[in-house]
Homo-oligomer: A and B are copies of this chain.
Amino acid sequence: MPGPTSYFDPTSLDTLDQRTAELVSRRTAALGPAYRLFYRNPVEFVRGERAHLFDRDGNDYLDTYNNVPSVGHAHPRVVAAIAEQAARLNTHTRYLDEATIAYAEDLLSTFADAVAATLGNLMFTCTGSEANDLALRIVKSATGRQGVIVSWNAYHGVTTEVAAISPSLGGMDSLAPWTRAVRAPGTDVDFAEAVEATIAELDAFGIPVAALIVDTIFASDGVRPDVPGLARAVSAVRKAGGLFIADEVQPGFGRLGDGMWGFARHGLVPDLVTLGKPMGNGHPVAAVVGRPDLIAQFAAHGRYFNTYGGNPVSIAAAQATLDVLRDEGLVENSRVVGARLLERVETLARQDARIGGVRGAGLFLGVDLVDAEGAPDESLALDIVNRLRDRRVLIAASGPANHTLKIRPPLVFDDADADRLLTELAAALADA
- Cβ A44 vs Cβ B98 within 8 A: yes
- Cβ A307 vs Cβ B68 within 8 A: yes
Q: Mark A69-81, 1 if CB is under 8 A from B, else 0.
A: 1000110101100
Interface size class of A (residues with CB under 8 A): 35 or more
Closest-by-CB residue of B relative to A74 is B87
Interface centre among A27, A89, A100, A311 (most CB of B within 10 A): A89
- Cβ A73 vs Cβ B89 within 8 A: yes
CB distance from A223 to the nearest CB of B (A): 18
A58 CB within 8 Å of chain B: no
Contact of A101 among B23, B129, B281 (CB under 8 A): B23
- Cβ A122 vs Cβ B30 within 8 A: yes
- Cβ B97 vs Cβ A44 within 8 A: yes
List B contacts of A36 (CB < 8 A).
94, 303, 305
- Cβ A101 vs Cβ B307 within 8 A: no
- How many copies of the polypeptide does the oligomer hold? 2
Interface centre among A46, A88, A171 (most CB of B within 10 A): A88
- Cβ A284 vs Cβ B302 within 8 A: no
A121 CB within 8 Å of chain B: yes
Contact of A79 among B2, B73, B86, B128 (CB under 8 A): B86
A416 CB within 8 Å of chain B: no
- The stretch of A154-162, A189-197, A344-352 in contact with B is A154-162
List B contacts of A78 (CB < 8 A).
86
- Cβ B313 vs Cβ A95 within 8 A: no
The verdict on A303 contacting B88 (CB below 8 Å), with A137-B163, A160-B159 known, is: no
- Cβ B74 vs Cβ A83 within 8 A: no
5 tightest CB-CB pairs across the interface, nearest first? A32-B121, A83-B83, A160-B161, A284-B308, A44-B96
